Amino acid sequence: MLIVGSMIGSGIFIVSAEIARVVASPGLLLLIWLLSGVMTVLAALSYGELSAALPHAGGQYVFLREAYGPMCGFLYGWTLFLVIQSGTIAAVAVAFARYLDVFLPLSRQLFAIELLGRHQAFDLKQLVGVAVIGLLSLVNCFGIRVGANVQNAFTALKVLALVLLVGAGIAYTGGSWNHFRPFLPDQAGVHLIVQQYQRNSAPLLGSGSLVWEYGLLIGVAMIGALFASDAWNNLTFTGGEVRNPQRNLPLALFLGTGLVTLLYVLCNVAYLHVLPIPQISQTDKIAASVARTILGSTGNALISFAILISTFGCLNGLILSGPRVYYAMARDHLFFKTVAKIHPRYHTPVKSLGVQAFWASLLTLSGTYSQLLTYVISAALLFYILTVYGLIRLRKTQPNLSRPYKAIGYPFLPWLYVMMAAAVLASNLIGDPSNSWPGFAIIAIGLPAYFYWKRKYAI
C-alpha cells in the first residue's frame, strides 16, 4: 500500500500528454511507459535484496552508505531533503489544492510582496497546500500504524479509481482501436518527429544521425514516465518499522511496482482508445479530457475527485517515509542532532517530521519546487544507478552479509537496469542539458554541509 500509494500521484493523469507531444506515436507512448515500468521492477528486485540484508531506518541512504561510504549516503539524503522529497511533497500538495479548486473557489490572490528583488504572490491554493502538509505531518506523529491506516484507505480508493478509468476508457463505444494505427512511425515519420521536437522544444545537443537523435528523444521522454513511477523506494526508508522485513520488504517492492506498472500501461491503452494521439498531445490534463469525452462535465468532476484522493494518499506516503532518512542521517551525526529524537510514546521521528514539513511548506509558498524538481530528476536517477550497482559492489566487499533474499537474475538483471538507466541519464545530459546538469550542482552544494557535520562531530 505504501509503494502503490506513493507511486500513484498526479503523474499518470497528466504526463502521457507531455510524452505524446515528444514521440507523437501510440506505439512509442506505450513502449515508454512499459520500459519505465520494467526499469522500475528491475530496480525493485535489487532493492529487495538490499532491504532484506539491511532492514534499517533510512533505506536507500543506508544502502549507499554501506556500499560507498558516508559521503555518498549523505549526498543522497541531502538532495532528498533539499529537493527530491520536500519538493515532491510541495508539488503534490499544490496539485491537491488545484484539483480542490474544482469544488471550492481557491483561485484568489491573498497578498504579494517584494522579496530579494522578486515579486512574490501568495494565493489560497498555496495556503491549502501548506495546511494539508501540516495536517498529514501531525497525523504521522501518532505512530506508523495511524499513518499506515490513512495510506491503506486512500491507496485502495485511488486504485479503484484507476481501474474504473481503465474500464470506462476501454469499454467506451465512441472510442476506436484505429487510434493505435500506425502503431510505430516509419523512417519518414521519425524524421518529422525529430524535426518537430527541435522546432517546438529545443535543439538536441549532440545531434547527428537520425537514429542517434531519435534515441535521445526517447530518453528525454522517458524521464517523465520514470518520475511518474517514482517514490516506490520510499518503502525502504521505513525498513526499521516493518514486521518480518527480510520477507515483506522484497515481496512488497516486487508486487507494488508490478501492480503500478500494469495499471499505468492499461491507463494509456484506455487513453488511446478514447482519443487519437494528436488530441492527447494537445491537452494538458489527459485523464480529465478522456473522462469529459466519456461522461461530459460529470466526467471532469469525477476525475478531479479521483485525483484529489490520489494526491492526498501520495502526499501521506511521502510525508510518512521521508523523515526516516533524515532521522538515520542525524543518528549518524550527519544532520541536525535534534532530528534524531523520537517520540517517547509513539516512537515516531517527530522532529524529523517537523523539519520536513517546515521546508516543504517554504518550497510550497516560494513556488520554486517545480523548477527544482525538473533539475533533480536526472540526479535522482544517478542515485538509483549507484544503489543498484551498490548491490553488486556489496556482494564483493561484504560477502558474509546475511542475505535472506537474493535478487532474481543476479548479476544480469541488476546490470541490465544499470545500463538502461545510464542510457536514459546520458540521453538527458546530452539532449536536455539545461534541465539536467543543474541537478548535479544541487548535489555538490551538499559537500560543504557534509564536511561541516563531519568536522563538528569529528567522524
Q: What is the spatial distance between Cα 274 and Cα 268, in angstroms, rounded to a whole number?
A: 10
Peptide bond before residue 182 is cis, with ω within 30 degrees of 0: yes
Dihedral sign (CA 246, 247, 249, 251)? positive
Look up residue 272 and give its three cell numbers. 488511446
Q: What is the spatial distance between Cα 290 and Cα 273, in angstroms, rounded to a whole number?
A: 10
pLDDT value for 199:
63
Cβ atoms within 10 A of the Cβ of 209, count?
A: 8
pTM: 0.88
Q: What is the spatial distance between Cα 211 and Cα 162, in angstroms, rounded to a whole number?
A: 35
SS3 28: helix
pLDDT value for 267:
95
Q: What is the spatial distance between Cα 3 and Cα 391, in angstroms, rounded to a whole number?
A: 21
Q: What is the spatial distance between Cα 239 and Cα 66, in angstroms, rounded to a whole number?
A: 15
Look up residue 402 and give its three cell numbers. 546475511
pLDDT value for 373:
77
pLDDT value for 55:
84
pLDDT value for 217:
78
pLDDT value for 183:
86
Give the angle subtended at the CA of 366 by the CAs of 75 and 371, to the nearest 5°.
55
Name the pLDDT band for 246 (thresholds 50, 70, 90). confident
pLDDT value for 5:
84
pLDDT tens for each residue of 6-44: 888 878 888 898 888 888 889 999 999 999 999 999 999
Which residue in 154, 170, 182 sits closest to 265, CA to CA? 170
pLDDT value for 72:
95
Q: How far apart are the first and last CA of the chain?
A: 38
Q: What is the spatial distance between Cα 26 and Cα 5, in angstroms, rounded to a whole number?
A: 27
Q: What is the spatial distance between Cα 42 and Cα 415, in angstroms, rounded to a whole number?
A: 10
pLDDT value for 438:
87
Residue labelled with grid coordinates 494526491 = 311
Alpha-carbon 129 to chain mean position: 18
Name the pLDDT band for 117 (thresholds 50, 70, 90). low
Mean pLDDT in the chain? 86
Cβ atoms within 10 A of the Cβ of 54, count?
A: 24
pLDDT tens for each residue of 270-280: 999 999 999 99
Is the pLDDT score of 205 beyond 70? no
pLDDT value for 394:
96
What is the share, in percent, of the chain residues with pLDDT greater than 70? 92
Q: What is the spatial distance between Cα 165 and Cα 419, in angstroms, rounded to a whole number?
A: 34
Residue labelled with grid coordinates 501492480 = 259
Which residue in 7, 9, 332, 1 sits closest to 144, CA to CA? 1
Cβ atoms within 10 A of the Cβ of 399, count?
A: 8
Instruction: Report the relative pairing of strands 118-123 and 109-115 from DSSP bridges.
Output: antiparallel
Is the pLDDT score of 365 beyond 60? yes
Cβ atoms within 10 A of the Cβ of 169, count?
A: 24
The H or E element spanning position 119 is: strand 118-123
Q: What is the spatial distance between Cα 367 and Cα 356, in angstroms, rounded to a whole number?
A: 17
User: For residue 200, with 0-12 CB atoms within 10 Å meaning exposed, 13-18 middle and 19 or more buried, which class applies?
Assistant: exposed
Strands, E, within 247-342: which ranges?
A: none
Strand partners, 257: none
Which residue in 440, 22, 420 sits closest to 213, CA to CA? 22
Is the pLDDT score of 289 beyond 60? yes
pLDDT tens for each residue of 336-347: 888 988 888 888
Cβ atoms within 10 A of the Cβ of 145, count?
A: 10
Mean pLDDT within 271-290 = 90
pLDDT tens for each residue of 414-426: 999 999 999 999 8
Phi, psi dihedral angles at 165 (to 5 degrees): -65, -45
pLDDT value for 94:
86
pLDDT value for 383:
94
Name the pLDDT band for 190 (thresholds 50, 70, 90). confident
Contact 381, 60 (CB under 8 A): no
Least confident of 97-111, 265-279, 374-388: 97-111
What CA dihedral angle connects 166, 30, 48 and 247, to 10 degrees?
30
